[in-house]
Amino acid sequence: MMRKRTVSVIRAVDDVTFDLQPGETLGLVGESGSGKTTTARCILRALAPSAGSVLFRQANGTTVDLAAVSENALKPLRPHMQMVFQDPFSSLNPRMTVGQIVSEPLVIHGLGTRREREERVADILRKVGLKPEHRMRYPHAFSGGQRQRIGIARALVMRPSLVVADEAVSALDVSVQAQVLNLLKDLQGEFQLTYLFVAHNLDVVRHFCDRVAVMYAGRIVELAPTDALFRDPQHPYTRALLSAVPWPDPDVKMHFEAPGEVADPSRLPSGCAFHPRCPHCFEPCPAVRPDLRVTAPGRSAACHLHDPAFASSAAAKIQ
C-alpha cells in the first residue's frame, strides 16, 4: 500500500516591498528565520519568487523585472548583481588558485581576452588590499579577513552596481570586521555600489547602513533611516531586537522584552504575527494583519499602534 505524502507550502517571505536607491546601503535585519536571506536570494534570482516582481533599473534607464525574465534574458544582467557570502572559509574553492577564483565569473560570462582578464584580476586584487602575485596562491594560505577580500574581489571583478552582502563580516574577528567594513565603504565610493547588507549584528548595521529594514516572520515590519530607527524604534519588535543588545551609547536605551519564540513560518499566528509576544497587543492585533504604512517622512511600520483607524484604542493601550 502506498502512503500518501502531504506537501505543505511555507511562505518564507510574504508581501515584502522596499526600494533600494543607487549608492545607498540598506540593512536587512531580523532573527534567524525572519526571511532576510530568502529576500536577498529572491532579489538576485538565486531563488525564484512564486509571485511579485523585482524591478531593476539598468544603466540605460530601462527597468526589467528580474522575477519575470527568462534565464537567457537574465544572463547578461547577472554581472550587475553580485553577492559576497558569509563564510570566507567555505565559499572559496580550495582547489582553485586565487586568480582562478576571481577570474571565474569573467570566464563564465565570456568577458575579455585572457590578457584583459589577468589585468582586471590584478587590478581588483590591488583594490581590495591584496597583491597581484597572490593570484598564484590557494585560499588556505590566507587569513579569514584576506579570504573575505578574495570573495569581495570575485564579486567586484564583474563591476556590478548591486552587491548583496549576506552576513559578510559575521564570521570574522571584530578587528578584522572593521577593516573589511572600511574596505566595503571605500569600494562603494569608488565604484558607486549599492549594497543590500544582510546582518544580525545591529551594532555593525548602525555604523554601516543608511537605512534599515527590520524583518519578522517573513515580512518587513519597520523601515527607516538608520539614525531614526535606533533613536526611536516604532515597531515593538524593533524595540525588542534593540533591547537584546548591550549599547554603550547612552542615546540608545532600551528596556523592552518580547517573551517567547520567533514565529514558526509553517504555523504563523493570525493577524499580526508578533501578537503572541507583543506587550502592546490590543483588540485588532490577533485578527487583522497590519500593513506596512508610512508613519513619518521616510519611515514606515507595520503595527496597528500607528494606524489612524485604531488611534483611540492604541492611545489607551500605550498609556
Residue with cell 534567524: 32
Q: Work out whether 233 is an interface residue with ligand SF4 (CB under 6 A).
A: no
Q: Site for ligand SF4 (CB under 6 A): which residue of 242, 278, 299, 300?
A: 278
Mask for 47-66, x = binds ligand SF4 (CB under 6 A): --------------------
Residue number, 242 or 278, with CB nearest to ligand SF4: 278
Q: Site for ligand SF4 (CB under 6 A): which residue of 101, 165, 193, 305?
A: 305
The pairs formed by 180-183 with CB atoms below 8 angstroms and a separation of 24 or more are: 180/145, 180/148, 180/149, 180/152, 181/207, 181/208, 183/128, 183/129, 183/149, 183/152
The Cβ of residue 24 has, within 10 Å, a number of other Cβ atoms equal to 15
Which residue type sits at 315? A
Question: Which has the closest alpha carbon to 137: 110, 107, 98?
Answer: 98
How many residues form the binding site for ligand SF4 (CB under 6 A)? 13
Residue number, 195 or 310, with CB nearest to ligand SF4: 310
Q: Site for ligand SF4 (CB under 6 A): which residue of 149, 211, 275, 299?
A: 275
Q: Tell the smallest beta-carbon distance from residue 235 to ligand SF4 (Å).
A: 6
Q: Site for ligand SF4 (CB under 6 A): which residue of 281, 292, 295, 299?
A: 281
d(CA 262, CA 216): 8
Q: Work out whether 272 is an interface residue with ligand SF4 (CB under 6 A).
A: yes
Q: Site for ligand SF4 (CB under 6 A): which residue of 215, 238, 274, 299?
A: 274
Q: Work out whether 303 is an interface residue with ligand SF4 (CB under 6 A).
A: yes
Any idea what the Cα angle at residue 249 is, between residues 177 and 34, rounded to 5°? 60
Q: Site for ligand SF4 (CB under 6 A): which residue of 91, 236, 263, 292?
A: 236
Q: Work out whether 285 is an interface residue with ligand SF4 (CB under 6 A).
A: yes
Residue number, 41 or 299, with CB nearest to ligand SF4: 299
Q: Work out whether 239 is an interface residue with ligand SF4 (CB under 6 A).
A: no
Sign of CA dihedral 77, 80, 85, 88: positive
CB burial string 274-308: b at 16+ within 10 A, e below:
bbbbbebbbebbeebbbebeebeeebbbbbbbbbe
Q: What is the SS3 string spanning 109-144?
A: CCCCCHHHHHHHHHHHHHHCCCCHHHHHCCHHHCCH
Using CB under 6 A, which of the segments 94-102, 142-150, 246-254, 302-310 binds ligand SF4? 302-310
Binding positions for ligand SF4, rule: CB under 6 A: 235-236, 272, 274-275, 278, 280-281, 285, 290, 303-305
